[in-house]
A and B are shown apart, each in its own frame.
Chain A
């Protein structure tokens, strides 16, 4: 008798396990339908009610809406697309449902030519995995029955038809749907914050982990580095654990591992939770001068110079400071920010008050600090030469009774003259002599037997920065008695900043 009873119980149990799923026994949590035709966060509650109705007609049990809303609010979930597999499993446990139905309206028109398009995805409660999905579409013109009998006429009829089709399809397939084991573990790390991500000389980092568990949390969480381990304390904010973590003093990128210690004694290891970086050297920085003329490691410019600061190796920066000093070491401009380096810098040869600076040599010093506190500075030398700067000094000399014009580069001139053109003309404006040269200094013989004793000399010079300056001298006396410096009554400049 006992064996008969036992057999009956065993048979009943096996029958329950092997019995196919039936719509009538299937409890569904129906999430508010996401309406992508309205906005990314749009919801269609009226359609959700109609889906619920269609499901009920097929014999499904639908979880009351308020319970679902309460769950979504408690878990800060705005739409169905935010239900991850762990949340789906937690939802299933808390609401006592077997599946979670996510509906998304992809297309909708209720005016002329009504139509509807939607996707429906079913998440299995036990595993949180997607186990079924369908795309349903209906257009008023799709409905073309013979003789027009039963033709769908309104948007409402189209909607109801689509939902009925969906519910019937789900009801038919629910018995054959697979029961999947959970693919992902019973916890989910949703956020990790590490401050700072770069340290030096074994300074600790502060680690904050947001982790959710399917059921009760573990005994404790431990984070490990090659320098030691730390047990994280539970934060006042739900799901957060935090603590200071010892770091390896060696340069490089090092991993942090998380160990979850469960109450039953077993533990799980999460490798490569996050990495931290150790740097004990100054942040390597390079100043690439994109414009200007490099002359003996000094960058000459006239209008402006473009500098591209570059980090030679990737390192998060805390701040940078730029200082420009003149030849005497006096600071004339300071700039800086608590941020990473700017993509490019442009200096227009001005001071802190935006006043144009004089010709001369300047030094730009870029100072950077990484977030670990390592500091570095790079100095770049510049030579500012205004476009109107006189490049050539002209003087008249007499050598062995012959008249010459002596062309010398201007004093302290750094940028070489590339080409010069000399023209002599009579006071009436008649050109009597022209000469072009490429080298300085240069001695230009003044032709003899000129019909006049006095000449006007003008020299046009072009330097390697592209500056074009014209110098017009006063009259040159051709009396061969003495050397004299050619006079400059006025200077006309015709310059081109760039060419």
Chain B
């Protein structure tokens, strides 16, 4: 009886996970992956109607990196860097030139740059609850030469994480963004595109 109950729970858990779409990750070139111990997170571009979501996603991304033991460049240091060069953030996020990235790498002692884009945010109704749906793109750039190391795209609904009954559902935008970023980071780590060889 106990075995039957356990197998039912496992089956339900597994079936809940099967429906999740995979992460679309591109690794455009065979760029040698450097040590990305110190990473700069740029403000996320935001195509949604919620004005401060780009800022929110940037902060969540920083905390996820910190949770994984990465060293994250202080966001105010990035702001000062741009201010000193009289450069708009969009010049760095949308059309960042090789020279600008190299200057940032040199001045802030960083090797990796993460830039992201909130492509869409919406809500859906599921079992009487309002559940967020987020589509997000995340890119890792080699700050030294401006080359794209990897790019990932992921769309998730809070309902994708439902395990059994109402358990597992993600009901806040913040948590869903965090979850998506975490999944992408895990994907990058498993593919070996991000590494940090800390000197002893």
Interface residues of A (CB under 8 A from B): 36, 40, 81-85, 87-88, 104, 106-107, 113, 115, 117-121, 123, 128-135, 137-139, 141-142, 144, 180, 183-184, 188-192
Contacts and interface: CB of A to CB of B under 8 A. Distances in A.
A130 B65 CA distance: 10
Contact of A190 (B66, B72, B84): B84
Interface string B145-176: 00000000000000000000011010111110
B66 A84 contact: no
A188 B173 CA distance: 36
Contact of A117 (B83, B84, B109, B172): B172
Contacts of A184: 77, 108-109
A106 B177 CA distance: 11
Contacts, number: 112
Contacts of B173: 106-107, 117
Given A36-B55, A133-B66, A139-B172, A189 B84 contact: yes
A183 B109 contact: yes
Given A84-B79, A85-B74, A104-B59, A132 B66 contact: yes
A115 B171 contact: yes
A106 B72 contact: no
A123 B64 CA distance: 15
Given A85-B77, A87-B76, A144 B60 contact: no
B38 interface: yes
A5 B48 CA distance: 68
B183 interface: no
Contacts of A81: 75-76, 79
Nearest to B69: A178
B62 interface: yes
B63 A141 contact: no
Contacts of B109: 183-184
B175 A117 contact: yes
Nearest to A128: B74
A82 B84 contact: no
B167 to A, nearest CB: 7
B44 to A, nearest CB: 12
Contacts of A131: 66
A36 B60 CA distance: 13
A135 B38 contact: no
Contacts of A190: 80, 83-84
B60 A106 contact: yes
A36 B43 CA distance: 14
B66 A121 contact: yes
B77 A135 contact: no
B98 interface: no
Nearest to B181: A135
Interface in B48-93: 52, 55-56, 59-60, 62-67, 71-77, 79-80, 83-84
B66 A115 contact: no
A36 B54 CA distance: 11
A106 B79 contact: no
Given A117-B173, A129-B74, A183-B38, A135 B64 contact: yes
Contacts of A180: 71
B172 A84 contact: no
Contacts of B167: 144
Contacts of B84: 189-192
Q: Which 3 pairs of residues, A with B, have the shortest CB-CB distance? A: A117-B174, A133-B63, A133-B66
Contacts of A130: 62, 66, 71-74
Contacts of B73: 130, 183
B129 interface: yes
B100 to A, nearest CB: 13
Given A85-B74, A129-B71, A135-B178, A106 B59 contact: yes
A119 B63 contact: yes
Contacts of B59: 104, 106, 119, 121, 135
Contacts of A128: 74
Which of A82, A128, A139 counts the most B-chain CB atoms under 10 A from its CB? A139
Contacts of B65: 133
12 contacts: A36-B52, A84-B77, A84-B79, A85-B74, A106-B56, A119-B63, A130-B66, A135-B64, A141-B166, A184-B108, A189-B84, A191-B83
B128 to A, nearest CB: 10
B177 to A, nearest CB: 8
Given A83-B74, A119-B62, A191-B84, 16 more contacts: A40-B52, A81-B76, A84-B74, A85-B76, A106-B173, A115-B172, A123-B74, A128-B74, A130-B71, A132-B66, A133-B67, A137-B178, A141-B171, A183-B108, A184-B77, A190-B84
Contacts of A133: 62-67, 72
Given A141-B129, A190-B83, A107 B172 contact: yes
A120 B62 CA distance: 10
A141 to B, nearest CB: 6
B80 A135 contact: no
Contacts of A141: 129, 166, 169, 171
Contacts of B169: 141
A87 B52 CA distance: 25
A183 B70 CA distance: 14
Contact of B171 (A106, A129, A135, A142): A142
Contacts of A134: 63, 66-67
A121 B171 contact: no
Nearest to B108: A184
A190 B166 CA distance: 51
Contact of B56 (A36, A83, A115, A138): A36
A104 B73 CA distance: 17
A139 B171 contact: yes
Which of B56, B109, B130, B166 counts the most A-chain CB atoms under 10 A from its CB? B56
A84 B83 contact: no
Nearest to A212: B80
A128 B74 CA distance: 8
A107 to B, nearest CB: 5
